[in-house]
Each structure stands twice: as C-alpha cells, then as structure tokens.
Structure 1
Amino acid sequence: MSQLKGVVSHHEREIAELRADRELAVAYLKAAMESLDDPDERAAGLLALRTVAEAHGGLGAVAAEAGISRESLYRSLSPKGNPTLKTLLAVLKTMGMRLSVEPEHQAHA
C-alpha cells in the first residue's frame, strides 16, 4: 500500500501542535490529569502525559533529563502504567510544569 503524499497521522499532528503551543499543552494535560482519578479512564491520562512528553523532545530526552531510564518511562506512561509520584513529578518538572491541587467541584443542592 502506498503512502499518500502530504498525509500526516493524527498523533504526529497532535505532537506538532502541542510542541508549538505551550498553553495548549498545559490545558491538554490539565484536562487529561483529571482522568487519573477514574480507574476506567486512567490510561487516557497516562497516554496524554506521554504525548506531551513526546512533544517536549521525545521520551528518551525527557527520561534522561528526569533521571529515569527510558524503558521505565515507557512502562510508566503506558495504558497500564502506574507511575510513582517521584516519576510523575520528575517528568512534569522536566517539561517545565508542576502538580497542583484544586478543590473538587460539587453540585450544591
């Protein structure tokens, strides 16, 4: 099967957009991090963090700067990954971000 000229995969386009727009990357990751609370949605949050890391120079570069082995980072940011708090904080710091806490929004009766 031949490749179509000028066609870019969704993933490649997503990485390019996140690389070009830091505010978009922060908003994307912030929305995705909310899914980490739900075991059924956790994979999406981890994959979003992985995508932002790819946009930040690639998993190998992020792992090296964060002091984590590349293999460990790939495993941690996989759909079934379970990164430690230390890994999560190191990856976010490498990308110039940090973890924050906000009150949970609750409907008032």
Structure 2
Amino acid sequence: MTTTEFDAAEYLDSPEMIATYLKVAFEENDAALIRTALNDVARAKGMTSMAAESKITRQALYKALGPNGNMTLETLLNVLRAMGVRLSVSG
C-alpha cells in the first residue's frame, strides 16, 4: 500500500473553504495551529502572490508563517486581507 502526506493547501480552492478553515483554526485558540492554517492558505493561494498582495517580502512571509514565526498584528492583518478574509471578534 502506498500513502501520501496530506496537504490541506490542496483542498483550499474557494473563498468559502478558506474562510471556514481559518475560522476553525482560530476557534481552537492555538497560535501554532493558526500559524499552520495561515501557511496552508498562503501556499494554496501562492506565496509569491500572497507576498505581493500583503506587501511583505516572500522571505518575510515564509518566516512569519513558519514553525517559529511570530508575526506582528500589522503583518497578520495584511496577510488576512491578502487572503480575502477579515478578523472578527465575538463574545
């Protein structure tokens, strides 16, 4: 039997799917999971276009979304805008 590694980025092919995926990640309140989900979406949309749309260099984007990334709020908002989603708060 042959197996392949699962890559969520391969399934993030619509704005609705992206929004749902990120919503679930944010609901978990786990910074590493959120960073991974943002990385998956960025790869699905293409890192080069994400870098251009977010006005962040590709290298900085890879670093921010990498396993040890710790992006600023400004970077997070730029990345979310480039992904076509908005951050929302509810109580």
TM-score band w.r.t. shorter chain = 0.7 to 0.9
Q: Give me the TM-score of the superposition, normalised by structure 1.
A: 0.72
Deviation per residue, 1:42-64 (Å, 9 max, x gap)? 211101111011112x1221011
Matched, 1:43 2:39: no
Which residue, 53, 68, 72 being the options, matches 1:80? 68
8 Å CA contact retained: 2:15, 2:84: no
Identity among equivalent pairs (%): 42
Of structures 1 and 2, the one with the larger relative CO (CA 8 A, separation 6+) is: 2
RMSD: 1.7
Q: Which has the larger radius of gyration?
A: 1
Aligned counterpart in structure 2 of residue 60 of structure 1, from 45, 48, 66: 48
Which consecutive aligned stretches of 4+ in structure 1 deviate over 4 angstroms post-superposition?
none
CA displacement 1:78-107 (0-9 Å, x = unmatched) = 12211111111111111111111111xxxx
* Unaligned 5+ runs, structure 2: none
Distance 2:27 2:48 in 1: 25
**Higher percent of residues as helix:** 2
Match of 1:106 in 2: none
Q: Which runs of 5+ in 1 are unaligned?
A: 104-109
TM-score (norm: length of structure 2): 0.85
